[in-house]
């Protein structure tokens, strides 16, 4: 079936006039009449009948016009969908993030982005550093947001640093080391509560011990999430090595206390990562710009 002929018929049917349809479509009235006759011949059914000096729809023509309305409406929806996607008004962004940005940074960024782009879906997955980069490289994610210490960056990843954050040693407020200055060797004698192997913070702690030739600590408790490690230290057991972003409010409210380790001042990086040598989609670029503008 000739879809163009069907759409042309629908214009005549809705306007009630070959002349008005021709004006809307910016073609001549004889051209409209000719194409309608050609469409009638193709389907083998009369669509219009003479009535006085004009024409009206046949019974079949009325029924076909109602069906054609669905097609025209769907076409308009599809056209709008394509335009919205092209202009970054709709679609889906898959984001994978390590625990620190996922818990303490992305909620604000996502809320800001959604406020201006409510029809864009954000699918956010939280995981450790190793898995985050694997998902990005394997096209399971469009963006990886990383927060952690210095590590060997995969060659396939484009890395853009957003800012740096301090790493703190923290204990419960009544711990003997609370607010004290001690050596790294003494700090490492404490039991630590950390996340699982593969987390950047745990790797960074052990790298620090290796650099200063100090025996690494015992990992007394291990959790898969940041909040669990924080709560356990607040409960009065062990120490944690963690981003100041995650614990600053607890230190300020005296639910946790810092331990100042002599000669150790460490920052780590918050970065937004994409695949190297790949042009960003409009949606991805728009999200990245939202993040940067919020800093």
User: Could you give the C-alpha distances from 80 to 88, 200, 286, in angstroms and in order?
Assistant: 12, 44, 19
Question: For tokens 């940005």, what's the residue?
Answer: 101
Cβ distance 239 to 171 under 8 Å? Answer: yes
> 290, exposed or middle or buried, with CB in 10 Å at 0-12, 13-18, 19+?
middle
pLDDT digit string (tens) for the chain, length 295 residues: 788 889 899 999 999 888 898 898 899 989 999 999 999 999 999 999 888 777 899 999 999 999 999 888 888 888 887 887 787 888 899 999 998 899 999 999 999 999 999 999 999 999 988 899 999 999 999 999 998 765 678 899 999 999 999 999 999 999 999 999 999 999 999 999 998 887 778 888 998 999 999 999 999 999 988 899 999 999 999 999 999 999 999 999 999 999 999 988 888 889 999 999 998 888 999 999 999 999 9
> Hey, what are 118's tokens?
């409510």
Q: Which residues of 144-172 are buried (b: 16+ CB within 10 A; e: fewer)?
A: bbbbbbebeebeebbeeebeebebbbbbb
pLDDT at 199: 77
pLDDT at 149: 62
Measured CA to CA, the distance from residue 152 to residue 232 in angstroms comes to: 30
Cβ distance 13 to 57 under 8 Å? Answer: yes
Quickly list DSSP for 80-138.
HHHHHHHTTSSEEEEEEE-HHHHHHTHHHHHHHHHHH-TTEEEEEEE--HHHHHHHHHT
pLDDT at 130: 85
pLDDT at 201: 82
Q: Tell which residue, 125, 101, 61, has the closest CA to residue 291.
A: 101
Measured CA to CA, the distance from residue 3 to residue 35 in angstroms comes to: 12
């Amino acid at each position: 079936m000739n879809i163009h002929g069907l759409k042309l018929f629908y214009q005549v049917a809705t306007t009630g006039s070959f002349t008005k349809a021709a004006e809307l479509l910016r073609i001549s009235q004889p051209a409209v009449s000719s194409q309608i006759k050609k469409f009638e011949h193709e389907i083998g059914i009369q669509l219009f009948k003479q009535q006085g000096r004009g024409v009206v729809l046949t019974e079949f023509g009325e029924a076909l016009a109602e069906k054609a309305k669905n097609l025209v409406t769907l076409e308009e929806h599809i056209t709008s969908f394509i335009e919205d996607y092209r202009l970054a008004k709709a679609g889906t962004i898959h984001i994978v993030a390590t625990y620190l940005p996922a818990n303490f940074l992305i909620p604000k960024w996502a809320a800001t982005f959604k406020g201006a782009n409510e029809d864009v879906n954000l699918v956010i997955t939280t995981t450790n550093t190793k898995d985050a980069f694997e998902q990005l490289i394997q096209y399971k994610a469009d963006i990886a947001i990383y927060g952690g210490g210095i590590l060997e960056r995969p060659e396939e990843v484009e890395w853009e640093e957003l800012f740096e954050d301090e790493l703190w040693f923290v204990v419960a407020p009544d711990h003997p080391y609370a607010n004290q200055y001690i050596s790294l060797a003494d700090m490492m004698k404490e039991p630590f509560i950390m996340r699982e192997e593969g987390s950047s913070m745990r790797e960074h702690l052990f790298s620090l011990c290796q650099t200063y030739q100090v025996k690494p600590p015992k990992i007394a408790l291990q959790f898969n999430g940041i909040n669990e490690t924080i709560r356990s230290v607040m409960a009065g057991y062990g120490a944690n090595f963690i981003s100041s972003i995650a614990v600053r409010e607890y230190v300020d409210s005296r639910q946790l206390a810092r331990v100042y380790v002599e000669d150790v001042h460490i920052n780590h990086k918050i970065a937004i990562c994409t695949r190297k040598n790949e042009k960003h989609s409009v949606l991805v670029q728009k999200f990245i710009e939202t993040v940067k503008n919020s800093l």
